[in-house]
Amino acid sequence: MIHPNPESPLNYLPPLQSQYDVIVIGGGPAGCTTAALVAEYGHSVLLLERAQLPRFHVGESLIPETYWPLKRLDLIDRLKQSAFPRKYSVQFVSDGVKESAPFYFERYNQHESSVTWQVNRGEFDQMLMDRARELGTIAHTSAHVTDVIFECTQAVGVKCRLLNEDGGRSEREIRCRVVVDATGQSAFISSRRGQRDADPMLKKGTIWTYWRGAHRDSGKDEGATLIMQTPGKKSWFWYIPLQDDVVSIGCTGGMKYLFDKDAGSVEAVYDRELTRCPAMQKRLVNATRCTDFFTTKDFSYYSREGAGNGWLLVGDAFGFIDPVYSSGVYLALKGGEFAADAIHDALQRSDLSGSRLGQWQPLYKQGIENFRKLVYAFYAENFSFGMFLKEHPQYKSNMVDILVGDVFKPGVGDIFDAMGALKPAMDMPLTRPAMA
């Protein structure tokens, strides 16, 4: 990536060495955070990203706890100066109609971390990569990792295809002491090892697109995320207001329900669901769709092993749950922070075992579990958060903690003792085909 300012030191790429302390595969939030913080410790870091930056990516809504890893990266001032809309709250709508009162984060915590952002991921991820470079990471874009090199069980480097100055491609083999897989949903290492398990309860898909001119609430509510469930919890819409009057609006539902072969085109299904969501429809009366439709499915999965000798997984490469609570970027940033500390510790001790590199992962998995259980509750038939909190008001703070992302706090998961083991409703096509 050539930085927009030709004088920028970020444009200087030194010749590749044959060996680094750490190679990070993937330049999303997880990879850039890991690389930035490992480089800050003083280790040599090479980051390889297959795309040209800035690149398009779904996942635009941040949650308040992202503040802390972003502060450690010293990026809060840059975010404050950005054009990204401020997000003060989230608002839920049930049955496509009933709007609950907005949930303002600062009511529960009077700290500036309670105001977060709705980001354009191209620009946000570029900001993270720039920061990783400033801290000493050598970051190559258009650099596709094609293999991780193992000697016995030890990861010792990668094979990659790089873009040359003349536009040609060259294959390189580069060695390192630690390989970080931050390849997002590709989950490079666990996919190759057959260790990527889909969550059988969350077989969901999403159709999303971008609109201009959609209705926005005023004042502090202008940047709110709206989560609107349709009747019978068959699907839900996100509404994420972005800069330049653009709004990201996506519809998530069971894979059979959204992508059944008899359901028609993705546009027809999206329109079908919009008609089931009057609260969203009324926001689009004067809006124009400004992009094509995008789809993704079966995105909730876990990687069975999170680390091994000389390698570890971070961010979506480790696992992803569901977009409903906007937890993905936070987990990627926080995981990057955990991973960087563990890598520094491992390099200092010259102990590159999986247990040393993955020492943070048991706690991290507990945090993911807290999000997962709240996701299951969201999709469970006959469960209402409002009713639950009426009966168990003592758990309101636990719920708030999870919604803002404070999922690693001791005791936060106690709420699930009262909630019980809720399961998402079964995924069915809208109209079942007649029996032969």
Ligand X SMILES: Cc1cc2nc3c(=O)[nH]c(=O)nc-3n(C[C@H](O)[C@H](O)[C@H](O)COP(=O)(O)OP(=O)(O)OC[C@H]3O[C@@H](n4cnc5c(N)ncnc54)[C@H](O)[C@@H]3O)c2cc1C
Report the interface residues with ligand X, using CB under 6 A: 25-31, 48-51, 57-61, 144-145, 182-186, 188, 206, 250, 296, 299, 315-317, 320, 323, 326, 328-330, 332
Tokens 């579990």 identify what position?
Answer: 369
Q: Which is nearer to ligand X, 367 or 388 (CB)?
A: 367
Q: Which is nearer to ligand X, 316 or 427 (CB)?
A: 316
Residue 129 parent element (H or E): helix 121-134
- The neighbour count for residue 72, using CB atoms within 10 Å, is 17
3-state SS class at 251? strand
Q: Which is nearer to ligand X, 117 or 383 (CB)?
A: 117
Question: Smallest distance from the beta carbon of 105 to ligand X, in angstroms?
Answer: 15
- The neighbour count for residue 261, using CB atoms within 10 Å, is 8
Question: Smallest distance from the beta carbon of 103 to ligand X, in angstroms?
Answer: 16
Q: Which is nearer to ligand X, 20 or 188 (CB)?
A: 188
Contact 317, 30 (CB under 8 A): yes
Q: Which is nearer to ligand X, 94 or 126 (CB)?
A: 126
CA atoms within 13 A on the CB side of 385: 19
Question: Smallest distance from the beta carbon of 15 to ligand X, in angstroms?
Answer: 20
Question: And the tokens for 69?
Answer: 């890893």
Cβ neighbors of 17 (< 8 A, separation 6 or more) are 44, 46, 174
Question: Smallest distance from the beta carbon of 420 to ligand X, in angstroms?
Answer: 27
Contact 287, 280 (CB under 8 A): no
Question: Smallest distance from the beta carbon of 320 to ligand X, in angstroms?
Answer: 6
- The neighbour count for residue 400, using CB atoms within 10 Å, is 17
Question: Smallest distance from the beta carbon of 414 to ligand X, in angstroms?
Answer: 25
Does the CA dihedral 423-429-431-436 come out positive or negative?
negative
Q: Which is nearer to ligand X, 1 or 419 (CB)?
A: 1
- The terminus-to-terminus CA distance of the chain in angstroms comes to 57
Q: Which is nearer to ligand X, 318 or 395 (CB)?
A: 318
Question: And the tokens for 50?
Answer: 């297959």
Question: Smallest distance from the beta carbon of 147 to ligand X, in angstroms?
Answer: 9
